[in-house]
Amino acid sequence: MELHGDRVVLRSLAEEHVPVLADLGGDPEVARWWAGIDQPYLLEELAAGLSFTIVADGEIAGMIQYYEELDPEFRHAGMDLFLGTPFQDRGLGTDTVRTMARYLVRERGHHRLIIDPAADNERAIRCYEKVGFRPVGIMREYWLDPDGVQRDGLLLDVLASELA
């Protein structure tokens, strides 16, 4: 499957993308926020079928994946992404998140989406806010950082009608 943004194409994760993504994900500037993106992890994600490779100008730039709560009472979806260091800070993250958000609303029928960056990942938070996400609150000691320290996360959500 392919989802088209203004500047990115999101292509279903395929085995031939895995070595490049493992290289990009192993960079310390990515791993400090999302550790463990290696070939075994990516092959597990390939099998799960909910991940897309981010392609920009024909180059593999990163990965985005989504997850869904399908219980009708609590139905929503969330997403996680990374861009390799050379692809950061160029607006590609905003286009990627917006493209995935539109897919989850229009094709998967979700009315509410969530995302949960580290509370001090200011670039990620700014990127998500540009798409329409709003802070819900701090989740204390939410994630274990690569140094083994439990750190806070920020939950953000957006309703379908608020997508920018």
Which residues contact ligand COA by CB under 6 A?
30, 33-34, 80-83, 88-94, 117, 121-124, 126-127
Q: Give the separation between CA 51 and CA 13, rounded to whole angstroms.
A: 6
Q: Which is nearer to ligand COA, 81 or 104 (CB)?
A: 81
Nearer to ligand COA, 7 or 75 (CB): 7
Q: How far is the CB of 101 from ligand COA (least distance, A)?
A: 13
DSSP 54-80: EEETTEEEEEEEEEEE--TTT-EEEEE
Burial of 51 (0-12, 13-18, 19+ CB in 10 A): buried
Q: Which is nearer to ligand COA, 34 or 110 (CB)?
A: 34
In the complex, minimum distance from the CB of residue 156 to ligand COA, in angstroms, rounded to a whole number: 10
Q: Helix, strand, coil shares of the chain as percentages rounded to 5?
A: 35, 35, 30
Residue 73 Cβ, how far from ligand COA at the closest point, in Å? 27
Q: How far is the CB of 161 from ligand COA (least distance, A)?
A: 22
Which residues face 56 on adjacent strands? 8, 59
